[in-house]
Structure 1
Amino acid sequence: MSSEIAINLQNVSKCYHIYDKPRDRLLQMFAGQRKQYYREFWALKNVSFDIKKGETVGIVGRNGSGKSTLLQVICGTLNQSVGDVQTQGRIGALLELGSGFNPEFTGHENVYMNAAILGLSRAEVDERYDDIAAFADIGEFIHQPVKTYSSGMIVRLAFAVQAMVDPDILIVDEALAVGDERFQRKCFARLDELKAKGTSILFVSHSGPQVVELCDRAILMERGERICTGSPMEVVRAYQKLIYAPVEEQPRLIEEFKSIGSDKIVAETREVEVTQYAPPEDQFFDAGMVPESTTVYPEQGARIDAFEIFDKQGRRCNVLKAGGEYDIVMRGVITENVSRIFFAMHVRTVSGVVITGQRFPEEGKYFECEGAERAFRITFSFQMVMLPGVYFVGGGVWSETEPTLCHRILDAIMFRLVSDQGARSFGYMDASIDEPALELF
């Protein structure tokens, strides 16, 4: 294996034997190879990929797609049935909640036990112990048995141990979803530090925005197979398109993603109505700004016909002024008798991070829509307080009942936000009110 590769998998498969009755296990012991009393379940099927040193790779997929089995095989807590797994360096892993902890031991004792498993000497743990305890921030509970901990406290201590011992490879499997927002932010800041130090990170999450923002690449798993690999935004879109597709459409999508290969996932695109207008010759509309990343989901009770942006003079536009107020309009048709629906839209950056969005009606409330072929037009009003740049608009129609996604379009339109002032802020938003005041003494 190349010195630049941290993880290498070659045709890795994992098979479980499923017995219908407990006695069948005993019968199988006596039968040997002469007769089979079990059914085979392949949790992994010929999975191959490389992860470079210092690379962060996200893994997405539905429950039961093989993600957790894959991580356990890489960690060595589970043996593959077929194939070869090679890793270089110390592996830290956050898998199932509380895995690796002895519930009868105190947090203090578990810190030393887990660090020893990772290959650290007692002297090395002594050097890091204060940092681990401070990061976990569970107070005197660190001297109490782990069986008395809440799920959040277990995650805090587990992440502190695994992330503060400077692993060469860190594997995180949905564990951070348990912590509160402040602790999650601290964890992601620590992940950024580890990335800067050259740690390879495998990150499993159902949160598309987290994968897009954190990862360099992403892998889509489905039914134990690696379906495709690509940029985080491309893979997350493929994943979302798959899980929201009608059941009868899913096999076709899986084969489509497989056939594309590992280099590029091509989004299904179509022109939305806003691209067909003749451009007025002024500064508020640029006919060349048409997204190449438009992704259209299947219609399951609704159809979105157009997204448009209007200024307060009623002009259709896609060149917007920073700080200005604009209306984002979504219109279409409810094609079937769908109950308990709601609308939502979002604004994303070029990298796919959601900057803002809005749901209507608010969380927990819905519209009853009786009858089919009912046109709708919904207006979302915003003040553009983002920094100048290019942004993408999309949205959809959802229902509380199945199918939950009636229709959705990602990156339906794009707009450019411009400013006649010099840049004085950074990040995503310009929340400043006035020039900073400086006093020198």
Structure 2
Amino acid sequence: MFSEIAIRVEGLSKRYQIYDQPHDRLKQFVLPRLRRVLGKPSRQYFREFWALKDLSFEIKRGETVGIIGRNGSGKSTLLQMICGTLNPTEGSIWTNGRIAALLELGSGFNPDFTGRENVYLNAAVLGLKQDEVNDCFDDIAAFADIGHFLEQPVKSYSSGMVVRLAFAVQAMINPDIFVVDEALAVGDEKFQRKCFARLEELKSTGTSILFVSHSAANIIELCERALLLDHGSRIMYGAAPQAVRAYQKLLYAPKGEYEGLIEGFREADHARSGSEGGAEMPPSQQSSSCEEVKQTEGATFDAGLVPETTTVYPCQGAQIKSIAFFDEQDRKVNVLQPGETYQLEIAGTFEQDLRGVYFGIHIRNVSGAVVTGQRFPEDGIYTEPVRAGTDFRVRFVFVMNLIQGAYFAGGGVWSIDEPTCAHRILDAAMFRVASTGKQKSFGYVDLAAGEPSMILAPTVIFAES
């Protein structure tokens, strides 16, 4: 059983002592001992701050787990304790295998050493012998791709070059556990794609990956599960799309509803982990099965296409009442034919006077990754101020050129006023793109059909009720 577990965390807590004034540190070092000698009750001269509190979870071999949460939620502290650079105050961490970590930018590098020397230094810290480093050095140099700078001191590197070399060292030694903090955000898009491809290779060979990112798309695309933290506590540990949706909902929640949402997510997480094995249903099984998708091939509306992952944000100035697809005959549909023109409508009411209003839609696949989306008006442009009581109806017109399969659509209303998210609904509608027979494309977009699901002409209608 333990051979299948890469990381086990039980009751993990980390406490820091916060001193309001420098001399309080000296008081804490001397006075408690003196008070005990004099028989007086003990007193502490610091405030306790718990960066993590009673955290427990497991990660299996070959599993990729995302760690998400607001700034200060304890993500980096957790990674540092897993890597052994911080000791826990309470609880335990058990790891199985060699750990490689890409944490703070340039951590572990000696700025006066050359890139080559730092490669050997880092590899030695990870437990590799010189012969092993010699065998993989060319792969490391090729992946980093920093040319003659490999022979120059690291202090002369740009931040992008530092992260290139750091990732190359950690990723090319084939670790059993690979820990990645948000350092990848420094690299350019080409290098990021290269890194994610390497992560997929490591994953396929059985490496367990812990990945911290504020990018919902990266978490959903790369990770099977995600751990949501808030103020050092576990809020949810489950399927990545579910955890990301919960995280996004917390980000936009009003102060009065925040604690209620936290408790609701915790209760759901506890119930899920307490069920048989605590197993999560894979994202691909959370929508209709293949048999359900095929049974109404010729229909334009299938009543069985009902999303189970709908997430409704709080109303903070507007209320979306419906999100639905319509064909050219203005019929409500959810079985769409490739190459045909459709409209995705968002309708609702403004509950407050708002300035700088704009609308947006998204289409996601069954794993939760955003396939496409659109904003109206375009970036930097907004509608005229709207008054409370005004109804709105926005229609995004597009040609459906997605590959056959099931998808989910949602949308929202935003404003330049605080809070910016007036209302938003994720996965409000489920739809299916029908089959046209033999497929010429794969992935999500049929490039052979023409424009890849591009929005043609959004229209908006306001009417005061």
What TM-score, normalized by structure 1, do the two folds share? 0.92
Task: Report SS of the residue matched to 1:312.
Answer: coil
Q: Distance in 1 between matches of 2:310 and 2:210?
A: 28
Change in 2 beyond 3 A, CA 1:81/1:357? same
Q: Which residue in the other structure is 2:254 paired with?
A: 246
Q: Which residue in the other structure is 2:316 paired with?
A: 300
Task: Report SS of the residue matched to 1:192.
Answer: helix
Q: Deviations over 1:147-199 (max 9, x none)?
A: 22222211111111110110100001111122111111111110110001100
Q: Which residue in the other structure is 1:348 paired with?
A: 364
Q: Which residue in the other structure is 1:313 paired with?
A: 329
Q: 1:385 and 2:393 equivalent?
A: no
Identity %: 60
Q: Which residue in the other structure is 2:290 paired with?
A: none
Change in 2 beyond 3 A, CA 1:69/1:360? same
Q: CA deviation at 1:370?
A: 3.8
Q: Which residue in the other structure is 1:153 paired with?
A: 161
Q: Distance in 2 between matches of 1:78 and 1:185?
A: 31
Q: Distance in 2 between matches of 1:10 and 1:312?
A: 57
Q: Aligned AA for 1:6? A: A
Task: Report SS of the residue matched to 2:448.
Answer: coil
Q: Distance in 2 between matches of 1:47 and 1:429?
A: 41
Q: Distance in 1 between matches of 2:168 and 2:424?
A: 39
Q: Aligned AA for 1:248? A: G
Q: Which residue in the other structure is 1:43 paired with?
A: 51
Aligned residues: 421
Task: Report SS of the residue matched to 1:190.
Answer: helix
Q: Which residue in the other structure is 1:371 paired with?
A: 387
Q: 1:329 and 2:345 equivalent?
A: yes
Q: CA deviation at 1:341?
A: 2.2
Q: Aligned AA for 1:292? A: E
Q: CA deviation at 1:99?
A: 1.3
Q: 1:26 and 2:23 equivalent?
A: no
Q: Which residue in the other structure is 2:14 paired with?
A: 14
Q: What does 1:10-409 align with in structure 2 at a 5 Å threshold?
A: 10-32=10-32, 34-262=42-270, 263=272, 283-409=299-425
Contact 2:350–2:386, Cα closer than 8 Å, also in 1:
no
Of stretches 193-202 and 95-104 in structure 1, the one that deviates more from structure 2 is: 95-104
Q: Distance in 2 between matches of 1:150 and 1:357?
A: 34
What CA RMSD, in Å, does the superposition of the two structures yield over aligned residues?
1.9
Q: Aligned AA for 2:248? A: Q
Q: Aligned AA for 2:77? A: T
Q: Distance in 1 between matches of 2:393 and 2:433?
A: 24
Contact 2:345–2:396, Cα closer than 8 Å, also in 1:
yes
Q: Deviations over 1:95-118 (max 9, x none)?
A: 111111122222211111111111
Q: Distance in 2 between matches of 1:103 and 1:341?
A: 49
Q: Aligned AA for 1:313? A: Q
Q: Aligned AA for 1:136? A: A
Q: What does 1:408-427 align with in structure 2 at a 5 Å threshold?
A: 408-427=424-443
Q: Deviations over 1:358-387 (max 9, x none)?
A: 011222222342421221111112211111
Q: Deviations over 1:257-312 (max 9, x none)?
A: 1111252799xxxxxxxxxxxxxxx8212222222221111000111111121222
Contact 2:401–2:449, Cα closer than 8 Å, also in 1:
no
Q: Which residue in the other structure is 1:272 paired with?
A: none
Q: Distance in 1 between matches of 2:89 and 2:303?
A: 56
Task: Report SS of the residue matched to 1:3.
Answer: helix
Q: Deviations over 1:182-224 (max 9, x none)?
A: 1111111101100011000011111112111111111110000
Q: Distance in 1 between matches of 2:420 and 2:153?
A: 43
Q: Aligned AA for 1:168? A: D
Q: Aligned AA for 2:131? A: A
Q: Distance in 1 between matches of 2:57 and 2:234?
A: 9
Q: Distance in 1 between matches of 2:107 and 2:318?
A: 44
Q: CA deviation at 1:344?
A: 0.7
Q: CA deviation at 1:314?
A: 2.3
Change in 2 beyond 3 A, CA 1:139/1:368? farther
Q: Distance in 2 between matches of 1:248 and 1:109?
A: 54
Q: Distance in 1 between matches of 2:316 and 2:384?
A: 16
Q: Aligned AA for 2:391? A: A
Contact 2:339–2:449, Cα closer than 8 Å, also in 1:
no
Q: Distance in 1 between matches of 2:235 and 2:368?
A: 21
Q: Distance in 1 between matches of 2:424 and 2:61?
A: 37
Task: Report SS of the residue matched to 2:248.
Answer: helix
Task: Report SS of the residue matched to 2:412.
Answer: strand
Task: Report SS of the residue matched to 1:261.
Answer: helix
Q: Distance in 2 between matches of 1:189 and 1:166?
A: 14
Q: Distance in 1 between matches of 2:415 and 2:121?
A: 48
Q: Deviations over 1:323-365 (max 9, x none)?
A: 2121111111121122222211011111111111101122222
Contact 2:252–2:421, Cα closer than 8 Å, also in 1:
yes
Q: CA deviation at 1:433?
A: 5.4
Q: Aligned AA for 1:238? A: A
